[in-house]
Amino acid sequence: MKTFLFECKKLFRKRKVWTAAILTSAAIIVLYLFFYHTAESIRSVNSLKAEQYKNVFTSMSEEARTEIARSERTGDDSAVKGLKEAIVRAEKSQENYEQLISDFQNRSWKRIYQQDLDFLEIAINEKGSTIIEEQPINDFTLRATKIEKEWLLKRNLDPLIQQTVYTAYLPTIYDTFTGKAVEEWKKITTRYAETGVGFTYTMMSKYYLPLLGLISCFVFGNGFSSQMNRKERGLHFAMTQPVRKTTLFTANYGSAIISVVGFFLFLTGLPFLCSLLTKGIGSFQFPVLVYEGGKENPFGSEFNALNPETDLFHFIPFQTYFLKALVLGVLLTLVLLGLYTLYSLLIKSAIGTLVLTGGTAAVGWILLKTSPYNPFTYLDIHGVLNGTLAAEAFNPAFSFESGVGVLAVTVIVFLTINFLVFQWLSRRVA
The domain segmentation of the chain, as residue ranges, is 109-192, 197-429
pTM: 0.88
What is the percentage of the chain residues whose pLDDT exceeds 70? 90
pLDDT at 239: 54
Q: Which helix (H) or strand (E) holds 102?
A: helix 77-106
Instruction: Report how far apart, in Å, the C-alpha atoms of 335 and of each of 205, 260, 328, 358, 418 are.
Output: 20, 11, 10, 12, 12
Mean pLDDT of the chain: 87
What is the percentage of the chain residues whose pLDDT exceeds 90? 56
pLDDT (mean) for 51-57: 86
Q: 234 vs 173, which has greater pLDDT?
A: 173
pLDDT at 174: 95
In this structure, of 82-86, 144-148, 181-185, 414-418, the range with the lowest mean pLDDT score is 82-86
pLDDT at 101: 86
The one-letter code for the residue type at 244 is R
Q: Report the alpha-carbon angle 285-286-290, nearest 5.
A: 105
The 10s digit of each residue's pLDDT in 258-308 is 999 999 999 999 999 999 999 899 999 999 999 998 887 776 667 678 999
Which of the listed ranges 3-17, 210-224, 302-316, 400-414 does the model predict with the highest average pLDDT?
Answer: 400-414
- Residue 86 pLDDT class (50, 70, 90 cuts): confident
Instruction: Report how far apart, in Å, the C-alpha atoms of 36 and of each of 31, 140, 272 are.
Output: 9, 30, 12
* Predicted confidence (pLDDT) at residue 100 exceeds the cutoff of 90: no
DSSP state of 99: H
3-state secondary structure (DSSP) of residue 342: helix
pLDDT at 229: 53
For residues 109 and 157, give the distance between their C-alpha atoms in angstroms, rounded to a whole number: 8
Q: Which helix (H) or strand (E) holds 13?
A: none
The 10s digit of each residue's pLDDT in 297-307 is 776 667 678 99
Surface-to-core class of residue 299, CB atoms within 10 Å of its CB (0-12 exposed, 13-18 middle, 19+ buried) = exposed
> Shortest CA distance to 348 belongs to which of 231, 225, 221?
225
pLDDT at 242: 52
- Residue 210 pLDDT class (50, 70, 90 cuts): very high
Between the two ends of the chain, the Cα-to-Cα distance in Å is 23
Residue ranges in 139-239 assigned as alpha helix (H): 139-155, 180-189, 196-204, 208-220, 223-228, 234-238
Q: Which residues contact 246 (CB under 8 A, 6 or more apart)?
A: 419
